[in-house]
């Protein structure tokens, strides 16, 4: 049976967070052991940098998303809490081996690797992505690697450097609807991100593509439907949809909170449009349960 999508007018800032968005503070042995491991190896995780609400659950299960290329982003997206700055071309070429060491110490079979935007680098950081994939495979021969990449400013060469290293999933988040790019995703372009995902399918059709969308930034449901339709047309096989939560007062306010029923309706809509796997829920994030999202994707079953 079809689930109806309800359009609700945007609410004022400083909304009270509903019960379904409340999470426990991170704690427990695994959480503190993983934190110590990351500090000891001088590594960064998007879990901490982006203040992800799922950090307690994920770290409690010894899973994490490694963030390479430093912890200073060259862009100033309105929704993101990752520190901003000018890395000035600095690259830690030993970082891939430390990521591999950490993943091996954690006993990981599925690893997600992302990065800050590095517009100061000619290759956008694509070479370090490739080296990290290769380093992980040397350390853990059967490991599966998902990469969540920036747009590389539309460089096909940079994209192909990553694809040649054969990640198991290539992820690039659209984040929001085209109308909100100017305030939410400064420095990015909707069509450029969409082309990157389509180009990946052309260059490496055996590698599944994935993307993510946040809701609650002031978009309409019809605009979200439009993004899902565009992702389906670009051949994206996995899509995540989650609630935007304001990391601090420095980021954009929440326009409204979507209900679990509305997330269920968006999941139905994405699947109706032909997207093979849609993970949709208030606390869903791009890397949340990533290993489960990619299960079953092969060269013969990709969207």
The CATH number for 173's domain is 3.20.20.70
Residues 265-302: tens digit of each pLDDT:
999 999 999 999 999 999 887 766 655 656 666 443 43
Q: Where are the beta strands (DSSP E) in 96-237?
A: 110-115, 144-148, 169-171, 209-215
299 in a domain, yes or no? no
Query: What does the pLDDT read at residue 22?
Result: 60
125 in a domain, yes or no? yes
Query: What does the pLDDT read at residue 52?
Result: 54
285 in a domain, yes or no? yes
Q: Where are the beta strands (DSSP E) in the chain?
A: 44-45, 65-68, 110-115, 144-148, 169-171, 209-215, 238-243, 277-280
Query: What does the pLDDT read at residue 300?
Result: 36
192 in a domain, yes or no? yes
Percent of the chain with pLDDT over 70: 75
Query: What does the pLDDT read at residue 249?
Result: 87
Domain count, the chain: 1
228 in a domain, yes or no? yes
Low-confidence stretches of the chain (pLDDT beneath 70): 1-14, 18, 20-39, 41-64, 287-303
302 in a domain, yes or no? no
Percent of the chain with pLDDT over 90: 58
Residues 6+ apart with CB under 8 A from 130: 161, 162, 164, 165
Query: What does the pLDDT read at residue 14?
Result: 63
8 in a domain, yes or no? no
212 in a domain, yes or no? yes
| Its pTM surpasses 0.85 | no
Which structural domain, as residue segments, surrounds residue 170?
A: 23-293
């Amino acid at each position: 049976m079809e689930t109806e999508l309800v359009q609700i007018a945007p609410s004022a800032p400083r909304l009270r967070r509903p019960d379904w968005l409340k999470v426990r503070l991170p704690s427990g042995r695994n959480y503190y052991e993983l934190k110590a491991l990351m500090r000891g190896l001088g590594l960064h995780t998007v879990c901490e940098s982006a203040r992800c609400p799922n950090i307690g659950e994920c770290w409690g299960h010894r899973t994490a998303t490694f963030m390479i290329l430093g912890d200073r982003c060259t862009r100033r997206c309105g929704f993101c809490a990752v520190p901003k700055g000018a890395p000035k071309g600095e690259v830690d070429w030993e970082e891939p081996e430390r990521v591999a060491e950490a993943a091996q110490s954690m006993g990981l079979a599925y690893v997600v690797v992302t990065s800050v935007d590095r517009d100061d680098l000619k290759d956008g950081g694509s070479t370090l992505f490739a080296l990290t994939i290769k380093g992980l495979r040397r350390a853990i021969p059967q490991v599966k690697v998902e990469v969540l990449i920036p747009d590389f400013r539309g460089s096909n060469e940079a994209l192909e450097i990553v694809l040649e290293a054969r990640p198991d999933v290539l992820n690039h988040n659209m984040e929001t609807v085209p109308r909100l790019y100017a305030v939410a995703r400064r420095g990015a372009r909707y069509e450029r991100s969409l082309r990157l995902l389509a180009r990946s399918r052309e260059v490496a059709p055996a590698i599944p593509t994935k993307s993510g969308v946040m809701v609650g930034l002031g978009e309409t449901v019809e605009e979200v439907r439009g993004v899902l339709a565009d992702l389906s047309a670009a051949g994206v096989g996995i899509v995540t949809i989650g609630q935007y939560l304001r990391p601090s007062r420095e980021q954009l306010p929440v326009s409204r909170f979507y209900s679990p029923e509305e997330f269920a309706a968006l999941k139905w809509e994405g699947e109706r449009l032909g997207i093979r796997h849609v993970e949709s829920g208030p606390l869903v994030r791009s890397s949340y349960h990533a290993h489960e999202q990619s299960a079953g994707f092969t060269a013969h079953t990709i969207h």
